[in-house]
Chain A
């Protein structure tokens, strides 16, 4: 059976094979071209720079989700972790805490939330959907209680001297590059290393591929699986702090829409790999596409409803195409 399919695949027309491999990316480019034709401003350097700047936050968050999902987990709490981390940073800043605390405490929180997720899911065996959904709501309640019912934490009214260094992450630039884009690049490189060159990556791929076999091969599957959630929590909290640094305001629940975008980024990313795997590269491009898409929609005057519907539709489309690929 297996050899038969290989043979058939090899003898397929070249064009069809190429289309299958590159079709999705062509489709994505096509959509962006349509935007460019409808709104020439879409391709202006300023707009592209703006989109790259915005996309960093989504992409950083999506990387964490990608790692978890590659192990057949799912983390519904990442957006909420990002939200709470950003909020925490804002509150700390408003209370005049030193900068290093403003940065490290929210990230420690992200690690902790990820750890609790990991313990629930990998050690207690709670299905990932349920465990992280529960976490999402616990964090949300915490945020609401902390801010006395979702009061925005406004930072841009603070004296400039207090906030300059904090805002650098989201608003500053190093040479011609925005600091946020550079942060995205650094995280991207780090994640490439983590997911390719580490023993964790190998073990994680084994857990995602066949957890039972990995277990019998002497892999500590619980620790590896939990590790993914810790990483996701870490990346989400970095993204959350960066978001507040960019927008100068922390609105409780403001980061929640990122959850949908992150899912769309990861699932779209699978289309870009030949075998439909979840990869960091794919997630990067998926995240860029999603941000370009929402930017284009905004330029066309189409708001949140279209974003929701299109992102949801893209997730379904990506899965449907993947299913066809595999059925074939």
Chain B
């Protein structure tokens, strides 16, 4: 290129943004990077290409400080650097935008972009104005068409990518790494992104671009480095290389593996898929697999291959299209029904979707068809063990035993178990999704052999892979998937060479492009108009509901709206609101707190005891707060140091505190009298307004400032909502979870003091859990009021006052106060249901 020639002409060397020399990195059994040297020039777009496992991601992790190389040196801007962790890499000017970079959905763009690098004034107060204008600048650089105040959850995938890039630019990086930025984008969106990237280059930003899509790369970048098997194949200028050369460099000619392909008689069509569509990931997929046939589906990450498999087994719900097995229509609601239809899925992510790591080989093998060895739900232990043993032998699983926990097996043997579990049933259509990733050669051959065996037995096999060599060698027919479509059908397998497959999978299908983009636009528009009403309802539903309830109470019990009664309600609600405030603060970043109510009660006893012992109100307040703080700190220690899940830690703590409370008060109520100064806290009035309510408002505003306007608060929310995203920005969990527990504990302690002042002392009963449910109800109901559906102190207080109004109103209407706990329980569950906008999984809890 011109830069190269001019550099050669003048004596001045080209400035290198990043230079790696002889980098070597080994993992047990694999040499991931072998003597890799490469230079990234200042201001260029440099592509890193290579197949899965070629070493691209290892190299990126070395550059970003995640891995330390065993050998080699790294220079940034001409200076040699050591990158011992992510922070250090960042300080040295390496910024990365990960594929599908996690962001904090409930935050606005400004907070997301500057998290970890916030601009603050004295006292840690966020300088929102300055932050906003800096982010606006960065957004302008990436040509964003949305405001920095938008919530990230309201942005499209493409817009989120823009946010991530803007956030990286805010750090003024020497080099910006973009890891597969277009994998989840439509062609049109990707096209827009390329424009942005080119604009960044013209602003002088150096970009390292990682992608599988050759056409993209050829149109976008200046130079290309190709990695294969941990080695650098070549670094070439894009003007000097043809697409076909690149394909050859990427695929190479490895020592050819043995593929146990055999000719098997191919019968009538078994699986027929017509027009299968799933949102924006699958567009009208048509395919047919015959008995005895292995159909290859070649495609890159993000092509929709796994989604196709998941849709076929009903784990994703298709929008349209028909599927028939042996002529019978199949539209399974979940994988269990799909199993009955004859589908068997070997999922892509073995560790998270395939294995039950804690269970034995035997239990993993017989899981899907366990009822085969059972009568009336009772297992025939012996027959089941025999079946498992037979599978272990048949698949040559090592060690040859059904007993070991599957986590102790090698990746290949684990995969054999996942395959083996489908061999005992009536499955006729086998979906192998990337079955050989992270699998040793011996096990690979075993897995291929099983495919052939299945085909021989008359099953239809779909083999999904991005390893084009194995597709080429093992399949009878191959389809190439690209961006949710079948982009090429290769009927004659001899034409399905690895090169041809890569060629088809990595191109951007030129035809249909415009038509597709139009269709997508129409889709988004339709979706957005439909969701406006839904959005409004989910945004304001709680408030409307609350107003309706209060209105109904006022109509049915007119005395409810008498000024005297309203102030009574405010007074009653305030004490509960205080406890709920503390709980809210803990929940923001601490996980869960079962001990909240007990902590407040304990503090109430401490305060009452202090006063009874003749120390003054100030001592009572200080001690109550201090005990709350200490309890919070201990909870934090249990959760953060000993890594006990918050639920259990605080459950244990709740009981310890209840015991301590009873020891302290000796099972007696601590009744206070003649302490007007102290009682004023809970019972006094300023004019007609209860003092405790004024205190509550002041407290809430104070907490609101801390949580919403300071760096500390922002980071607490970040950690609580998405610890992984926060960690990528260098915001570690421990500090902010501790802050959450400790600050929340302090508030709970002070709430206890208010409780003592309100109820003229402390009760003897250990009623911690009663307070807890009210506080939980207020907290979760309050969270449904806020814009982002996040925990929010103001929402909590409004909800607490609403709960008090509800109780008061019901009693005025003649409902027994014994019904109140139950009503609070129902409100709690309902407010959670309201928050569960779409059906989640099952309500499992972290208890270990």
Contact = CB atoms under 8 A, between A and B. Distances in A.
Nearest to B634: A316
Given A145-B818, A306-B659, A213 B352 contact: yes
A24 to B, nearest CB: 16
B366 interface: yes
B656 A206 contact: no
B202 to A, nearest CB: 45
B825 interface: yes
Contact of A320 (B357, B644, B828): B644
Nearest to A313: B656
Contacts, number: 258
A144 B836 CA distance: 31
A130 B841 CA distance: 15
A312 B338 CA distance: 46
Contacts of B381: 197
Contacts of A73: 843-845
B840 interface: yes
Contacts of B653: 312, 316
A221 B842 contact: yes
Contacts of A320: 638, 642, 644
Contact of A130 (B354, B421, B829): B829
Contact of B354 (A125, A136, A216): A216
Interface string B257-298: 000000000000000000000000000000000000000000
Contacts of B378: 193, 197-199
B431 to A, nearest CB: 11
Interface stretch (A36-44, A116-124, A231-239): A116-124
Given A121-B842, A313-B652, A133 B776 contact: yes
B660 A305 contact: yes
A201 B366 CA distance: 13
Interface string A15-48: 0000000000000000000000000000000000
A246 interface: no
Given A133-B776, A213-B356, A217-B368, A197 B662 contact: no
B335 A319 contact: no
Contacts of B776: 130, 133
Contact of B374 (A142, A193, A199, A303): A199
Given A74-B647, A225-B842, A319-B642, A140 B821 contact: yes
B239 interface: no
A156 interface: no
Contact of B832 (A1, A130, A139, A220): A130
B592 interface: yes
Interface in B802-848: 816, 818-826, 828-829, 832-833, 836, 839-848
A127 B843 contact: yes
B399 to A, nearest CB: 12
A314 B656 CA distance: 10
Contacts of B821: 137-138, 140-141, 144
Interface in A79-117: none
Interface string A124-159: 111111110111111111101100010000000000
Identify which of B336, B347, B647, B657 gathers the most chain A CB atoms within 10 Å of its CB.
B336
A8 to B, nearest CB: 13
B355 A210 contact: yes
Identify which of B335, B367, B407 gathers the most chain A CB atoms within 10 Å of its CB.
B367
A305 B662 contact: yes
B829 A217 contact: no
A201 B653 CA distance: 32
A320 B648 CA distance: 11
A238 B730 CA distance: 53
B658 A319 contact: no
Contacts of A214: 356, 367
Contacts of B839: 124-125
A311 B648 CA distance: 12
B80 interface: no
A212 interface: yes
B781 to A, nearest CB: 12
A198 B377 contact: yes
Interface string A263-282: 10001000000011100000
B358 A144 contact: no
Contacts of B662: 303-305, 308
B822 A140 contact: yes
Interface residues of B, number: 87
A218 interface: yes
Nearest to A305: B662
Nearest to B344: A218
A138 B825 contact: yes
B359 interface: yes
Contact of B647 (A129, A135, A137, A219): A129
Contacts of A187: none
A182 interface: no
A81 to B, nearest CB: 14
A69 B647 CA distance: 12
Interface string A179-203: 0000000000000010001111111
Nearest to A140: B821
A323 interface: yes
Given A122-B843, A145-B816, A218-B339, A135 B825 contact: yes
A133 B335 contact: no
Interface string A282-300: 0000000000000000000
Contacts of B847: 69, 72, 74
Contacts of A200: 377
B766 interface: yes
Contacts of A218: 335-336, 338-339, 368
A217 B421 contact: yes
B829 A209 contact: no
A177 interface: no
A140 to B, nearest CB: 5
A267 B647 CA distance: 13
A19 to B, nearest CB: 20
Given A133-B776, A197-B379, A199-B374, A124 B822 contact: no
Contacts of A217: 335, 367-368, 421
A312 B656 contact: yes
A63 B651 CA distance: 19
A233 to B, nearest CB: 16
B248 interface: no
A71 interface: yes
Contacts of B818: 141, 144-145, 149
B829 A323 contact: no
B315 interface: yes
A260 interface: yes
A141 B832 contact: no
Interface string B389-409: 000000000000000000110
B649 interface: yes
Contacts of B658: 305, 308-309, 312
B699 interface: no
Contacts of B569: none
Contact of B357 (A124, A198, A209, A267): A209
Contacts of B828: 130, 133-134, 137
Contacts of B377: 198-200
A277 B335 CA distance: 28
A211 B833 contact: no
14 contacts: A120-B843, A128-B845, A129-B592, A134-B829, A144-B816, A197-B379, A200-B377, A207-B842, A212-B352, A217-B368, A219-B367, A309-B660, A312-B654, A322-B848
Interface of A: 1-3, 6, 69, 71-74, 120-122, 124-131, 133-142, 144-145, 149, 193, 197-203, 205-207, 209-222, 225, 260, 263, 267, 275-277, 303-316, 319-320, 322-323, 327
Given A205-B356, A211-B844, 8 more contacts: A3-B410, A122-B842, A144-B818, A206-B356, A216-B313, A216-B315, A319-B648, A327-B643
Interface pairs A-B: 7 shortest CB-CB? A309-B659, A141-B822, A312-B655, A137-B825, A308-B659, A218-B339, A305-B662
